Amino acid sequence: MKRIPHSPTKYVYGIIRHSAGHHFADIEAVGDPDATVHPIAVGDLAAVVSDATVSRYEVTRANMMAHERAIEAVMATRTVLPMRFSTIDTVSGITAMLTDRAAEFEDTLRAMDGKVEVEIKASWVDTRLAFDEIVAENRAIRSRRDRLNRQGAASQAERIDLGKLVEAALAAKRRSDADRILAPLQRTAERYTESPVVGEAMILNAAFLLSGKRVLEFDRAVAALDESMGGRVNFKYFGPLPPFHFVATNREDRRGYVERAS
């Protein structure tokens, strides 16, 4: 049996509309599987919370996954505005937040009704292939490379200059491939965001806000891209997810992405 909530501080998963009969008994809490996930309600709003046993939870895969699973479980039956991982506050702080930001939360809940997030991460299968393409496409790089090869030995300055040309060309190709991927996907999405890419191979790291009714259409667009670009681009597709990238429930949120309307 899960224990009755008693902690003076609470781990906050998200904001929902309050209604009688909320049941979260099957949701596993972050950091303590015996803690009860429960609502703290103020008027028409409620925060979904559990007891917090520490002042901050470590950023571990287990904790992050528990956080996301809990929010996804809430999302299965109602619209939820997800809070950032390891948001911990007192009961009085949570009730004050729900009171002070009631109009903002209610407007955002209406905007997110029926919406889901999906994420796409696209990477070159082989960066050497991308390099070969820019050499074939870029006469300046090809000429500089051939000249240095004929010389047999290149100065450090010459190598640096060639490296800069290659770096700029790779960045342009990455952007070109990213735009090619975004073009059909943004037609289905209501909004999308781009987060920074990680490593040399990644082309695109993006999240899309969709109407739940258009998820299948988006799936088909991703499948078509995979078929047309699959020989050189690897796609990773996640979702449907809560709208993590499209709500700013934490006041201090300053995400590193560029948001664009589709």
Query: Reduced to 3 states, what is the DSSP secondary structure of residue 9?
Result: strand
Asked if pLDDT for residue 254 goes beyond 60, the answer is no
pLDDT digits (tens, 9 = 90+) for 142-160: 666 667 666 666 666 666 6
The stretch 38-57 carries a mean pLDDT of 92
Q: Are 50 and 6 in contact (CB under 8 A)?
A: no
Distance of CA 200 to the CA centre of its chain: 19
Please report the pLDDT score of residue 220 as a whole number. Answer: 96
Asked if pLDDT for residue 258 goes beyond 80, the answer is no
Question: In angstroms, rounded to a whole number, what is the distance separating the alpha carbons of residues 102 and 44?
Answer: 8
DSSP string, 54-69: SSS----HHHHHHHHH
Please report the pLDDT score of residue 241 as a whole number. Answer: 94
Q: Apex CA 179: angle with CA 202 and CA 122, to 5°? A: 25
- The number of beta carbons lying within 10 Å of the beta carbon of residue 61 is 7
**Please, what is the average pLDDT of the chain?**
86
- CA distance readout (Å), 137 to 129, 170, 200, 204: 12, 11, 19, 22
Indicate the pLDDT class of residue 33, thresholds 50, 70 and 90.
confident
pTM score, whole prediction: 0.82
Asked if pLDDT for residue 166 goes beyond 60, the answer is yes
SS3 content of the chain, % helix, strand, coil (to 5): 40, 25, 35
Indicate the pLDDT class of residue 53, thresholds 50, 70 and 90.
confident
Taking only Cα atoms into account, the Rg of the chain, rounded to an integer number of angstroms, comes to 24
Q: Are 16 and 45 in contact (CB under 8 A)?
A: yes
Peptide bond connecting 240 to the previous residue in cis, omega within 30 degrees of 0: yes
Least confident of 166-175, 184-193, 226-235: 166-175
The stretch 55-60 carries a mean pLDDT of 90
Q: What is the percent of the chain with per-residue pLDDT over 70, rounded to a whole number?
A: 84
Asked if pLDDT for residue 259 goes beyond 50, the answer is no
Asked if pLDDT for residue 131 goes beyond 90, the answer is no
Please report the pLDDT score of residue 211 as a whole number. Answer: 95
Comparison of pLDDT for 235 and 159, the residue scoring more: 235
Question: In angstroms, rounded to a whole number, what is the distance separating the alpha carbons of residues 83 and 71?
Answer: 9
Asked if pLDDT for residue 113 goes beyond 50, the answer is yes
Indicate the pLDDT class of residue 87, thresholds 50, 70 and 90.
very high
Question: In angstroms, rounded to a whole number, what is the distance separating the alpha carbons of residues 56 and 246?
Answer: 24
